[in-house]
Amino acid sequence: MKMTKQRKVILEVLRSADSHPPADKVYESVRRRIPDVSLGTVYRNLEKLRRSGSILKLDTGTGQRRYDGNTRPHHHMVCNECGRVMDVPEVAEISVDFNGELLDGFNVENYVFMLRGKCPRCAVKMKRSKKYGT
């Protein structure tokens, strides 16, 4: 795949972000650097970069696809309150023993865990609202 200016900027945006932005936020960031870029160009290039393995596309179950510039194997946490997506810290050990017999012979090539809960900010907000009865 040829590395166009648009693809290079999209990769830079995603690799410098830890927020796992949706396409519209990627577009806003790219547009600051390439003012005449179109939303369609960003969408097409996100898909090409995903197909090439240069980025990840995350389905968080919220209906909004998010993108990740970190393609190393890792897992994600999604806040049920604000929708924030975070990487599971590398120190957290998550492992599954895929026994082929248990999976009816299905050959597992990779897997992704999506942990759901409340991020620290939302947990604090919930705690405060319960404390003050709001």
73-134: CATH superfamily: Ferric-uptake regulator, C-terminal dimerisarion domain (3.30.1490.190)
Mean pLDDT of 71-75: 87
Prediction pTM value: 0.80
Average pLDDT, the chain: 87
- For 13, other C-beta atoms within 10 Å of its C-beta total 21
Q: What is the pLDDT of residue 126?
A: 78
pLDDT at 134 over 60: no
Mean pLDDT of 66-77: 91
Name every residue whose Cβ is closer than 8 Å to that of residue 94 and which is 6 or more positions away in sequence. Answer: 75, 88, 113
**Tens digits of per-residue pLDDT, 95-107?**
777 666 667 777 7
Q: What is the pLDDT of residue 99?
A: 66
CA 17 – CA 15 distance, rounded (Å): 6
Q: In the chain, where does DSSP find H-type helix?
A: 5-16, 23-33, 39-52, 120-132
Task: Tell me which of 118 and 103 has the higher pLDDT.
Answer: 118
- Taking the domains of the chain in order of start, what are their residue ranges? 1-69, 73-134
**One fold for both 1-69 and 73-134?**
no
Going by C-alpha positions, the residue among 50, 67, 89, 79 that lies closest to residue 14 is: 67
- b/e code 28-52 from CB counts within 10 Å (16+ = b): ebbeeeeeebeeebbeebbebbbee
Task: Tell me which of 39 and 104 has the higher pLDDT.
Answer: 39
60 pLDDT tier (thresholds 50, 70, 90): confident
131 pLDDT tier (thresholds 50, 70, 90): low
Is residue 82 within 8 A of residue 101, CB to CB? The reply is no
Fold exhibited by the domain 1-69: Arc Repressor Mutant, subunit A (1.10.10)
